[in-house]
Amino acid sequence: DTANPDIIDKNIPIDRVISVFDHRQLVFTNKFTNAELHIELVGSCATLITEEFQKAKVTPSINSATYLYSAIVFSTINFKNTVTTDRDIKAAEWLLSIANTSESFVRDLFSAKSQISPSNLYEILSQDFSIKTLSDHKIGIAQIEMVNINRFLSDLKQPLKEALSKQKTDNNLEYIFFNGIDVIDGYSLFIVIDSASADIFSSILGISRFEYSHQHPSIIMRKQIWPKVEEHLKTRASEIAS
């Protein structure tokens, strides 16, 4: 579920990777010189894997179907995300006919992921923290999908500031950005902790400069933000050079 060699386990030689599956627009496929590439803009990489089962006429185990279905639900925010495609929906329907789930399965999934406290916040951010170097700028974007994302405006506000500050220091980042997604109400909460990041991400996202938070009316995913970051930095570098 990545085409970025910088976040692959260092024990995996890039020249020995034979197949790459990803569903993001910003990829680094030129570095996988010996791989067959499967880069398609669907809502979830699990959709691409599910289609491989279907092409091979292989029925996944109940557990595999449940895991793949869960991944599609997470990636598409229960199909509310704008990146959701008909392929995601069809793949999920096929998996659901095989998986062993209850009526409350989806809510239980997101509720379990929402068990965030000041003590585990840094660890949770680290599990899905994305770092890229674009136009010589090292940038990190954190993303969390959960129920009641507005907790980051109340009891989790200070712990988030501290966790993001630590991520920025630990990874020697120039800019850092947080994208919180409310899976029930269907919107994104953008958060920055420093003025430089506030300046650049306000420009990138085309919104008024915000000091700490900005509520975006709909869901926007990190994988949609990265191409905007790359385009912005390239344009700025070109303007400076000229």
Amino acid at 8: I
Q: Where are the alpha helices (DSSP H) in 23-156?
A: 45-55, 62-75, 86-96, 105-113, 121-127
Of how many residues is the chain composed? 242
Say what the pLDDT of residue 3 is.
Answer: 58
Q: Provide the pLDDT confidence category of residue 1 given band limits of 50, 70 and 90.
A: low
Question: In whole numbers, what is the pLDDT of the chain averaged over residues?
Answer: 90
pTM of structure = 0.70
User: Of residues 113 and 64, which shows the higher confidence score?
Assistant: 64
The continuous run of DSSP H or E covering 128 comes out as none
User: pLDDT tens digit string along 154-204?
Assistant: 999 999 999 999 999 999 999 999 999 998 888 999 999 999 999 999 999
Question: Which whole number is the average pLDDT over 90-116?
Answer: 90
Q: For position 112, what pLDDT does the model report?
A: 83
Question: Which residue in 52, 61, 62 sits closest to 21, CA to CA?
Answer: 52
Question: Residue 25: its pLDDT value, please?
Answer: 61
Q: Maximum CA pair distance of the chain? A: 60
- Distance (Å, whole) CA 89 – CA 73: 9
The pLDDT value given to residue 27: 58
